[in-house]
Structure 1
Amino acid sequence: MTRTLWATGVALLATSLSACGMNTGTGSGAAAGGGGHLVYAEQLPPAAAWAPETDDAHRLRRAGCLETLVNIGYDGEPEPMLATEWNQVEPTTWEFALREGVTFQDGTPMDAEAVAGSLNHLLEVKTPARSFNPDVIAKVSATDESTVQITTPNPDALVPLRVASVNTGILAPKAFEGAQIDIQGTCTGPFTVTEEVPQQSLALKANENYWGGDVALDTAEVRFVVDGGARATQLQSGEVQIVKSLPVANLGSLDGDSNLEVHQIGLPRTTVMLLNNSRPPFDDPLVRQAIQKAVDTQPIVEGVYEGAGTPAVGPFGPDTDWAPDGAEATSANLDEARALLDQAGVDPESLTFELQAYVDRPELPDAATVIQAQLAELGIKVEIKSGEASSLEPGWLEGDYDATLLSRGFLTDLADPGGYLLSDWTCKGSYNMTQYCDPETDRMIKDAVALEDEAARAEAYREVAAKLNDEAASVWLQHEKAVWGTQAGLKGFQPHPLDAYVLTAGLSLG
């Protein structure tokens, strides 16, 4: 199965603010190193007691603990990880051959029964992962000691990508014995969790029996540092060697520091202003289109994000295979916006709505302020509500909000846009926070995902993206970049376009 997940605009685009250049490494495999201890500052702490069906799985993978059957490489290609090969043996049946000689960190074998048990756990939880759930997976079973069979309700060409999703990370049977997931000694990765300070840190040591070879570091620590300014300060002081998500406001103070390197990488992620299509005024597509016409994305990208992104042309970046041909960012036109509101019979002076922005991403409240000022020129009053994402998300899922800013990865759940489109833009989608529901769009998305030919599937995704943007189902603002900070001289660190890996076997202090 050969495919490319992202084109130039979403592939690795790394730059350095120091004069030392950027050190990169393979990010996997055996390595010879001088040992030592490394500290990595992660942006957010676990929020669901390490339940693998949640975003906690991303943090456990970056900690060098959790691994999947299939890996998505730095070039976007699926590649063997805990499985060495896979085949579609029947229209609804896939078989995965497991890598021989792999053991969990507690010494138990990673055999087919253990792998099937780990994947079946996902199918049995109350809220399954968006990429791997009973709607798309009928059964997981061990056919022999080293072969796992996955059966689907319908033919599904995306199964190898489903088991590349971090939510399908394989854990030892011991992980599921207690009331919550046990992550100590139950992974297969290069680092073993030895201690957890809840909401603060993980202590790790090198896995001496790692199937991928020698691990360069002796020990490591993952710190959960929510405040972006604090992460930047700890990097400058030398307390930490790697920082995820440096705020753009701190980049100026890092520029020219020869002890540091800053890496910017284009992401398959878009900042969007979600509009609740189920309640006034956004149940009227003319009002949504008017809002779209009144928002100027360029000042947001340049002023708030200081150029660390590009104006959005829709759900997908302009250089991906899934953006409509010739797609361009919508330019603000207040005259057209007024005409659309007039057509809808709506006086802009009568419009008031609440725009939510979560502080976990510190740029979002600033972006909300810019949007507030832009819509005020049209006569629309916007009230801003800020808070942590964890406190706001229940309202989004219930449809109890007017509008909210959201940073959304369109390859996060599944390394194919079909996963994002199914969950976010179908009537019964599990993450359909906009409450958008159109039977024609449902049909288009489901037909697209069923296509085995990649070129045909990409064309179908382009048609869906154009429809969503033309209807202003929401207002896409910018295609994002991630900003990583490291100490100069670090070896083996390479930002991944899916934010997948940090603590790897090849990572060393230089």
Structure 2
Amino acid sequence: MTRLRWASGIALVALTSTACGMGGGGDDTTTQTGSGGGHLVYDEQFGPAAAWALETNDAHSLSRAGCLETLLRYNSEGELEPMLATEWTQTDAKTWEFTLRDGVTFQDGTPMDGEAVAGALTHLLEVEVPARAFNPDVVSGVKAVDEATVQITTPAADPLVPLRVASPNSGILAPKAYDGKQIDIKGTCTGPFTVTDEAPAQSLSLERNEDYWGGEVSLESAEVRFVVDGAARATQVQTGEAQISKSLPVANLSTLEGDDNVEVVEGPVARTTVMLLNNSRPPFDDPLVRQAIQYAVDTQAIVDGIYEGAGSPGVGPFGPDTPWAPEAAEPVAVDLDEARDLLDQAGVDPESLTIELMAYNDRPEFGDLAAVIQDQLSQLGVTVKIRSGEYTSMEPDMLSGDFDAALLSRGYLVDVADPGGYLLSDWTCEAGYNISHYCDPATDQEIKDAVAIEDVDGRNQAYAALAEKLQKEAASIFLLHEQAPWGVQAEVKGFEPHPLDYYVLTAGLGVS
């Protein structure tokens, strides 16, 4: 096994992509690095959970499968660049115009024109639960100015619009994709690969798009397998049953030692594991109790013991090496005496405190993580009962506030490549993904003001101040900032993990 560390473009994405989008963009070129022909199997961690509804995480899977494309995209250096649109301009404070790439057709042969793009994005605005990246709260409407131009209007000035249309949730499909009760992904994409068959919850079969607008596609065909079991993903890449496997559990990396045919590529990602505390009901409606729990959780021990050093202790919602972390941010040191004092101030006897901690088994490490937290809090006298199950079975209770605490792995740039999207969706009072049920009108306004700042450095400083506030108030317990090990067979050419995890099967990907 060869271990490679990839340089994360996380900070670069947030800094340069916005600046690039402000003034518009030029054309791009496609570089082919594959060998031509061949078949590749890629193991995904999770399968589609919402019948390919683009407002859900299914859009990200379809983007990684090389089918779904967006108006703009991020390259591996984290720069915003043209994709289905070649230019973008802010014509006034609340209006953006995008010039569409000429001559692009959907895989069913219909033209990708202004009406088709406006229809796709309008559909996204009209679904029952819109995407966090692109929804009626941040987008007033979309219309086709002409065949080659689409206009997006916003209710308030929003410098993040170019970032929103680069999110996989804002992907563009052919009009027929929206005709039925479910999204039709066969023949409706514009990407280098077209879906030929689907085994529900198991796999996608794909063939290269011979008429791809971006040029020659190196692979002849590919298969995406949905393999939830991390050990199985590690085994398949080791045996060569799969050529690329996503998110290998740290515990399984030792099985790849000594295998010259496998490279493990690992590096930081914009993702934080957090123990969410339900701020809407006792005992966690009291910040003193939340802070007491924070002082009792040993994040360094969690990183060392559960994740074997693959990550760093939580310093807030954002990783310590990002522009959005407070300067010299450090994790909270364990202090049981301080924790007891805080509980005493809150009038809470730790021996009387029982917490149910939800730990979904879609993340296999969460079982061990919950057990460690259970042990750590027992040293404070707090009883923790663990509830396990699939995430989909737990999410309704989490969203409705019918829980005490829950583990969550959350990508803070996965929706929009700027922390503002995450802060708006997770930490404002009426947000659709505010699972912690944290609500402070002053913080709401601070977040909205921060997102509206056009100067990137100024916006980043405002985000850092908000991160410091959430950590200081122990709005939830930020446990660790994650790394993402990929397993890659040596025969694979042209693969590099994307800093936002948007793309895997690309035109330049090949096998030797």
Does TM-score exceed 0.5, indicating one fold?
A: yes
Out of 472, 479, 482, the residue aligned to residue 480 of structure 1 is 482
For 1:178, the equivalent position in structure 2 comes to: 180
Out of 317, 320, 324, the residue aligned to residue 318 of structure 1 is 320
For 2:387, the equivalent position in structure 1 comes to: 385
CA distance in 2, matches of 1:27, 1:475: 44
SS in 1 for 2:493: coil
1:5 is displaced (CA, Å) by: 7.1
For 2:23, the equivalent position in structure 1 comes to: none
CA distance in 1, matches of 2:446, 2:428: 10
CA contact (8 A) 1:206 1:219 kept: yes
For 2:351, the equivalent position in structure 1 comes to: 349
For 2:18, the equivalent position in structure 1 comes to: none
CA distance in 1, matches of 2:13, 2:263: 22
Out of 72, 81, 93, the residue aligned to residue 70 of structure 1 is 72
CA contact (8 A) 1:47 1:56 kept: yes
CA distance in 2, matches of 1:376, 1:54: 37
For 1:282, the equivalent position in structure 2 comes to: 284
Out of 114, 132, 135, the residue aligned to residue 133 of structure 1 is 135
1:361-400 mapped onto 2 (5 Å cutoff):
361-400=363-402
Inter-CA distance 354–168: structure 2 relative to 1 (3 Å threshold): same
For 2:311, the equivalent position in structure 1 comes to: 309
1:101 is displaced (CA, Å) by: 1.2
1:375 is displaced (CA, Å) by: 0.5
Out of 71, 82, 85, the residue aligned to residue 83 of structure 1 is 85
Q: CA RMSD in A?
A: 1.7
1:229 aligns with 2:249: no
CA distance in 2, matches of 1:390, 1:27: 40
SS in 2 for 1:7: helix
1:32 is displaced (CA, Å) by: 5.5
CA contact (8 A) 2:12 2:78 kept: no
1:331 is displaced (CA, Å) by: 1.1
- State the TM-score, normalized to the length of structure 1: 0.94
1:127-206 mapped onto 2 (5 Å cutoff):
127-206=129-208
For 2:3, the equivalent position in structure 1 comes to: none
CA contact (8 A) 1:10 1:266 kept: no
Out of 233, 247, 256, the residue aligned to residue 245 of structure 1 is 247
CA contact (8 A) 2:297 2:334 kept: yes
1:92-107 mapped onto 2 (5 Å cutoff):
92-107=94-109
CA contact (8 A) 1:67 1:166 kept: yes
- State the TM-score, normalized to the length of structure 2: 0.94
CA contact (8 A) 2:34 2:509 kept: no
CA distance in 2, matches of 1:410, 1:471: 19
For 2:411, the equivalent position in structure 1 comes to: 409
CA contact (8 A) 2:34 2:493 kept: no
Aligned residues: percent identity?
68
CA contact (8 A) 2:40 2:242 kept: yes
1:247-266 mapped onto 2 (5 Å cutoff):
247-266=249-268
Inter-CA distance 205–254: structure 2 relative to 1 (3 Å threshold): same
SS in 1 for 2:155: coil
Per-residue CA deviations over 1:376-404 (Å, capped at 9, x if unaligned) read 00100000111111111111111111000
CA distance in 2, matches of 1:30, 1:379: 60
CA contact (8 A) 1:6 1:321 kept: no
CA contact (8 A) 2:143 2:152 kept: yes
For 2:360, the equivalent position in structure 1 comes to: 358
CA distance in 1, matches of 2:347, 2:76: 51
CA distance in 2, matches of 1:494, 1:434: 34
CA distance in 1, matches of 2:447, 2:411: 18
For 2:11, the equivalent position in structure 1 comes to: 7
1:256 is displaced (CA, Å) by: 1.7
CA distance in 1, matches of 2:124, 2:246: 28
CA contact (8 A) 2:34 2:219 kept: no
CA distance in 1, matches of 2:31, 2:414: 24
SS in 2 for 1:267: strand
1:445 aligns with 2:425: no
CA contact (8 A) 1:265 1:497 kept: no
What code does the residue aligned with 1:7 have? A
CA distance in 2, matches of 1:315, 1:389: 21
CA contact (8 A) 2:10 2:499 kept: no
1:122 is displaced (CA, Å) by: 0.3
CA contact (8 A) 1:49 1:181 kept: yes
For 1:116, the equivalent position in structure 2 comes to: 118
CA distance in 1, matches of 2:40, 2:76: 23
1:99 is displaced (CA, Å) by: 0.8
What code does the residue aligned with 2:383 have? K
Any gaps of 5 or more consecutive residues in structure 2? Answer: 1-7, 16-27
CA contact (8 A) 1:70 1:163 kept: yes
CA distance in 2, matches of 1:10, 1:86: 17
CA contact (8 A) 1:31 1:214 kept: no
SS in 1 for 2:372: helix
